[in-house]
Amino acid sequence: MKAMYEKNSIDAGDTFNAQQKIDKYRAIYYAGASGDFNPIHIDAEFGKMVGLGGAILQGLCTLGFTADAVTTWIGDPGRLKKIKCRFSLPVKIGDTITIEGLVTEVHEDTGTVVIKVINQNGGDVLTNVQAEVVTK
């Protein structure tokens, strides 16, 4: 994933966006890295059987893509101090998620970023997403 640009200093009103296509192996790669081998993530037939329509991506992987979009935009992972969200819709294999951020406040050297994470149908896959970043 590549955000549109990197930012040296951050001001209220700044924005960024990024997209991530969820390929058919993403949940398996993440399962290997995280140890989350829940069948809803790696077995499409099981995902269908439990009413999910197929395998779904681990929520923390979606949050990881969101954090990556922020750190790519600001140019330094050490500048991301906090990120929070509510998981609201499953991300399915084959989905494309769009991550859009808006800096709503800057106080001294800390900025608040409100983030929208949606799928290709406009569904909010994460809600109440907010990050705290170092602005300089």
Residue 112 is assigned to a structural domain of this protein: yes
Give CA separation, 116 vs 8, 35, 38, 96, 127, in Å: 22, 27, 27, 14, 7
Domain count for the chain, please give it: 1
Residue 2 is assigned to a structural domain of this protein: no
Beta-bridged to residue 107, according to DSSP, are 110
Residue 125 is assigned to a structural domain of this protein: yes
Residue 8 is assigned to a structural domain of this protein: no
pTM recorded for the entire structure: 0.91
- pLDDT over 50 at 3, yes or no: no
Residue 84: give the domain boundaries.
15-134
pLDDT in tens, 45-73: 999 999 999 999 999 999 999 999 999 99
Spatial CB neighbours of 62, under 8 Å, sequence gap ≥ 6: 87, 91, 97, 117, 125, 126
pLDDT in tens, 104-121: 999 999 999 999 999 999
- pLDDT over 70 at 130, yes or no: yes
E runs forming strands in 1-135: 15-21, 80-87, 96-107, 110-118, 124-134
The domain that contains 84 carries what CATH number? 3.10.129.10
Average pLDDT over residues 84-103: 98
- Confidence bin at 7 (pLDDT 50/70/90): low
Contact 5, 72 (CB under 8 A): no
pLDDT at 18: 98
